[in-house]
Structure 1
Amino acid sequence: MYQFSYAEVTQDSSATAREREREALDRMVDALKHAEAAGPRSREAIDAIYLTRNLWSVLVEDLATPGNALPDELRASLISIGLWIMREAEAIRLGQRESFSTMIEVTTMIRDGLGE
């Protein structure tokens, strides 16, 4: 029988959660890249916008919970970024923007930061 300390379990859980977040952001970046290549009125764009809005909604909600372990300043910054990305996605959906490139760049930086 194995015994683990609480710190070991929470560290593993945190690492697992970070990996799941990284995989979700990977999927989003891939979808955004396909949308960029296919154009803002394509099926790929619709799918990427839907995925982006849903994933960032979940992330922002999690970041806003009092139990989130990230430092307050980082949480606030990530919430601001998430809200900005959701507004950008909506602007593309409404035909006010044409390019996904900035969302791809910002999401890639956040995803890459999860590996650190």
Structure 2
Amino acid sequence: MSVNAYVRAQKVASTPRSTEYRLMSEVTGEMIAARDAGLTGVKLAAALHRNRQVWGTFSALCADSANALPAELRAGIISLGLWVDRYTSLVITGRDTIDELINVNRTVMGGLANENGAVPAA
């Protein structure tokens, strides 16, 4: 199978939920790697920035009235996005640790997984 055929097959099999899970997994992995490398404060900037971008995008998508998610879920995601933004400032200035951001992302990933705890199909 050629690489192009593989990419096409992956796009067909991919769902928005599996894409969101994969993105959260990548971003969370970057934050874990940075933490485990002993980075703190401003040295976490790259991982924190990417996480902040993801949450900003999620929030913007949920603010769109055309979004099909239930209003309560959309509001919760927006609220989490605002919290992530504020908390990230505490982490980057060294006033708190990255652990709570990792925990929030892991919780969201759990919600994106199906009832059996399996990763959504990619």
Q: TM-score, normalised by structure 2?
A: 0.75
1:107 equivalent to 2:121? Answer: no
Partner of 2:58: 59
In the TM superposition, residue 42 of structure 1 has moved relative to its aligned partner by 6.3
| Compared CA separation, residues 41 and 95, structure 1 to 2 (3 A) | closer
Structure 2, unaligned runs of 5 or more = 1-11, 115-122
Partner of 1:86: 85
* RMSD of aligned alpha carbons: 1.9
User: Using the alignment, how far apart are the partners of 1:83 and 1:35 within structure 2?
Assistant: 23
User: Using the alignment, how far apart are the partners of 2:49 and 2:23 within structure 1?
Assistant: 13
User: Using the alignment, how far apart are the partners of 1:56 and 1:41 within structure 2?
Assistant: 19
* Residues 33-72 of structure 1: per-residue CA shift (max 9 Å, x gap): 11222221464x1211111111111110001101111111
Matches within 5 A, 1:18-97: 18-37=17-36, 38-41=38-41, 43=43, 45-97=44-96
Amino acid at match of 2:100: T
Give the percent of matched residue pairs that are identical in Structure 1 and Structure 2: 27
RCO greater where, 1 or 2, for CA within 8 Å and sep 6 or more? Answer: 2
Q: TM-score, normalised by structure 1?
A: 0.78
User: Using the alignment, how far apart are the partners of 2:55 and 2:103 within structure 1?
Assistant: 15
Structure 1, unaligned runs of 5 or more = 1-12
* Residues 44-102 of structure 1: per-residue CA shift (max 9 Å, x gap): x12111111111111100011011111111111111111111211121112222x1111
Runs of 4+ in structure 1 deviating by more than 6 angstroms, as ranges, are none
Helix, strand or coil: the match of 2:40?
coil
